[in-house]
A and B are shown apart, each in its own frame.
Chain A
Amino acid sequence: MSPLTQAPHGFLSPTGVEIAFLLVGLVTFGAALVTVTTRQLVHAALWLVVALGGLAVEYLLLTAEFIAWVQVLIYVGSVVVLLLFGLMLTKAPIGRSPDADSGNRWVALAVAVVAAAALVWVVVDAFRTTWIDLDGAAAGSTKVTGASLFQNWVLPFEALSVLLLAALVGAIVLSRKAKAESAPPPVNGRAVTGSSPSVTGSGIHPIEQGGEHGSKLVSTRGSEQGSEQEGAR
């Protein structure tokens, strides 16, 4: 049976799943819009949680349960936490900040709207009669996904682990370099940078402050990185 050649279902013939998908999709889309428009930076991160969680629900509705739980674990669990830490470490203002959007806003809006119009037009035009048959065995159960992953995709999977290792090493290198600059004998990075008021070689005030924060960041973000990579594996 080819869904492209014959269309047994009308374009507007809502089923229960479709209604649920539509409602959750609206919530997700709304949360995403708030994320990119709100003036409170921390709220943006929290609305991102809503959007990503909504997407996890959408995955579930599409019977891709493993993906859904991975989504919850990694995005909602670690990425957003990481972003919140980033906001705190860069001393993002709590509350409304009037300059959250740059002057590029209207150009960005135009580009985004035109892109959305083009994409929606193309997608609807191409797939308006295509039907996903969600009945039968789940397409994305853990068993199916695992079998597929470790039978057919094992080599890319291992290559991905190398990528994660590289990212891990990269993050450590970035952190270590900043610490080595601020304190030459790094016995205990936090104690040394915290106690030494001035930094050898660099006389710029923001850098000194940043150096202190950076050394604190290393440990926290390093652990986050580790956990997140565990989750990704």
Chain B
Amino acid sequence: MHLAYPAVLSALLFCTGLYGVLARRNAILVLMSVELMLNAVNLNLVAFDVWLSKAARDTLHSGQALTLFTIAVAAAEIGIGLAIVLAVHRNRGTSDIDRLRDTAEGHEDGTPTDGAADEKAEATA
């Protein structure tokens, strides 16, 4: 099989995830898009591992081991990420990313209570 097929698929999936990360409002959807990007990387790793192990360049199966590690790390990431999103939602009543603008210059929409909640959210995060 041509290596280009999985490589191109991986690139397209990665960019799809990239679009999702940049365009989605809901934080959980952003996390989904991050999963897509990670999976694209995984596909790349697997494909190149297969290629290199058949070509006797690499006998350690480093690509597949790294894929396993990535999956584990992604699982941990999604757990912590969801916890943060839920903490933010608990404190702010929203999980829309473009409404969390406390770092904005001027910070017009922030009320004192928001500021306090923000601090709390940061502390919990």
Distance, CA A133 to CA B56, complexed state (A): 11
Residues of B within 8 A of A164 (CB): 72, 75-76
CB-based contact B11/A36 at 8 Å: no
Residue of A45, A58, A90, A124 with most partner-chain B CB within 10 A: A90
A66-B64, A86-B28 known; A75+B18 contact, CB < 8 A: no
Q: Which residues of A contact B84 (CB under 8 A)?
A: 174
Q: Is A94 interfacial (CB-CB < 8 Å)?
A: no
User: Count the A residues whose beta carbon is within 8 Å of the partner chain — how many?
Assistant: 111
Number of contacts between A and B (CB, 8 Å)? 311
A15 within 8 A of B: yes
Chain A to chain B: the 9 pairs with minimum beta-carbon distance, closest first: A210-B90, A108-B22, A206-B93, A36-B20, A116-B15, A112-B19, A167-B76, A148-B61, A119-B11
Which residues of chain A have a CB within 8 Å of any CB of chain B?
A: 1-3, 9, 11, 15, 17-18, 21-22, 25, 28-29, 32-33, 35-36, 41, 44-45, 48, 51-52, 55, 58-59, 61-64, 66-67, 70-71, 74-75, 78-79, 82-83, 85-87, 89-90, 92, 99-105, 107-109, 111-113, 115-116, 119-120, 123-124, 127-128, 130-134, 136, 139-140, 144-145, 148-149, 152-153, 156-157, 160, 163-164, 167, 170-171, 174-175, 177-178, 181, 204, 206-207, 209-211, 213-214, 217, 221, 224-225, 228-229, 231-233
Residues of chain B whose beta carbon lies under 8 Å from any beta carbon of chain A? 1-9, 11-29, 31-33, 35-36, 39, 42-43, 46-47, 49-51, 53-55, 60-62, 64-65, 67-69, 71-76, 78-80, 82-87, 89-93, 95-98, 113, 117, 120, 123-125
